[in-house]
Amino acid sequence: MPKGNFWNNVNKYFPWVLLIASLIFGYKCAKGNDFLSYYDVGLNFRALLDNIYISGKYSGMLNHYPPLFAMLMVPLTFLPPLAAGYVFFLAKLACVICVLKILPEFFEDKKIPAVAFWLAFLISFRFILDDFKLGQVNTFLTAFLIFAIYLKNKNQFWFSALFLSLAISIKIFPGLFLAYFLFKKEFKYTGICVFTLLVLNLLPALFYTSRYPSLLTHFVNESILNAAADPNSGIANQSIYGMLMRYLGVNPTDTGEIKLVNFASFSFEKIKLIYYAFSLLFISLALAPALKKNKSSDIYALGNVFLVCLILPMVVRKSNFVFVYFPALMLFAQMFKAKTQKSIKALLLWLPFVLLTFTADGVIGRKLSNLAEAFSALTIGVIFLIVANSVNLFTSKK
């Protein structure tokens, strides 16, 4: 069989195989504990509790998302938890299918090199699987941001702003996309986004009326201030904050085999200051390309915004790394179209591919995977991707 026919058959039949397997897998995903925490907070909002950020009936977990997200979950609470979880899963799967449908539109020739598609899939597969299995929301966020960029490129600013505003309203850090467009002096689009964002986040006030400011206070205390008061140094936290807490302070990793991973003994407050300095550095790397007058590099600049949004929050779980798919796809596609996969520059892309793909417990075993996560392999992999993207951006022609 000719080589080209093999890849054509893979591309033709694999999506159907994946779809059928996903529908079966959906039963397990529907029982994900993270989804149950969303269901619980929806119930709390439906009951109009003064504080919806309490341990839930079904999950026993605290939810950390803004009130708008709790309000959006309310319709699902009219279904039994398992049925609601499956609907949530199907909606997520529909978003994935829509993303796959529009991805070729991001390329001038409307074509994605097959090898680039599969490498991007491999680098993010474990995280997508984790997100689905836990019933997390990161696949939605990634899809919403891709929809926002796609619709903006089509000059459908209002629909684009709706998806971007939803993403920001759920996890806040996608607000960096709004800052990027502001730096690009796209004031009309930025204004539409700000207006949409305000309207969306005032909707819960229709139900809570004068109690809404108090509910927002509970959200800030639970989701922002509490996170800043804790080292969050367990290996499950793969953010820059978690990495610095493990590296620079005598903070536990929450695993028996690897109690400490530290190269210094700085105080908690000093490490936080270092984290804020790193945050400013990475935010600058994400926003600086907005000052370049080169529309052809926009898609790669936005890739860096994806990656910085991923690692800057104080708490980042593995399922959050779904965000790497889009920037990785753009970088791999560019590399194979330019046929530079054997260059020194390409090494900056192959290194994160190894760190993000081959540190999974299914590949190297749980103990080695724990060790890799204790040393922040995932965080370092994303930093390499940011460096690869930045080198690409700042060496490209204006």
Note the pLDDT tens digit of each residue in 300-323: 889 999 999 999 998 899 999 999
Q: What percentage of residues in the chain have a pLDDT greater than 70?
A: 93
Q: Based on the structure, what is the number of domains in the chain?
A: 1
For residue 4, pLDDT over 70 is answered with no
Residue whose entry in the numeric block shows the structure tokens 């400011």: 213
CA 80 to chain centre: 28
pLDDT, tens digit, for every residue of 119-150? 999 999 999 989 998 889 999 999 999 999 99
Mean pLDDT score, 234-252: 90
For residue 59, pLDDT over 90 is answered with no
Residue whose entry in the numeric block shows the structure tokens 């509490």: 226
Among 4-8, 102-106, 221-225, which is the least confidently predicted range?
A: 4-8
Residue type, 42: G
For residue 107, pLDDT over 90 is answered with no
Structure-block tokens of residue 121: 């899939």
Rg (CA), the chain: 21
Residue 160: name the closest of 22, 54, 302 by CA.
Answer: 302
Spatial contact of 167 and 148, defined as CB atoms under 8 Å apart = yes
The contacts found for 128-133 with CB under 8 angstroms, 24 or more apart, are 128/322, 128/325, 130/317, 130/318, 130/319, 131/319, 131/322, 132/22, 132/25, 132/29, 132/32, 132/89, 132/92, 133/28, 133/29, 133/32
Structure-block tokens of residue 117: 């598609």
Give the residue numbers spanning the domain of 70: 3-395
Q: Distance (Å, rounded) from C-alpha 143 to C-alpha 120?
A: 15
What pLDDT was estimated at residue 344? Answer: 76
Residue 77: name the closest of 30, 43, 122, 29 by CA.
Answer: 43
What pLDDT was estimated at residue 1? Answer: 38
For residue 223, pLDDT over 80 is answered with no
For residue 95, pLDDT over 90 is answered with yes
One DSSP character per residue, 218-251 reads HHHIIIIIHHHTS---STT--SHHHHHHHHHS--
What pLDDT was estimated at residue 112? Answer: 85
Mean pLDDT score, 191-205: 96
For residue 179, pLDDT over 50 is answered with yes
Kindly indicate the confidence band of residue 2, based on its pLDDT and cuts at 50, 70 and 90.
Answer: very low
CA-based angle 206:209:212, to the nearest 5?
Answer: 100
Spatial contact of 317 and 138, defined as CB atoms under 8 Å apart = no
Q: Distance (Å, rounded) from C-alpha 167 to C-alpha 148?
A: 9
Mean pLDDT score, 156-183: 94
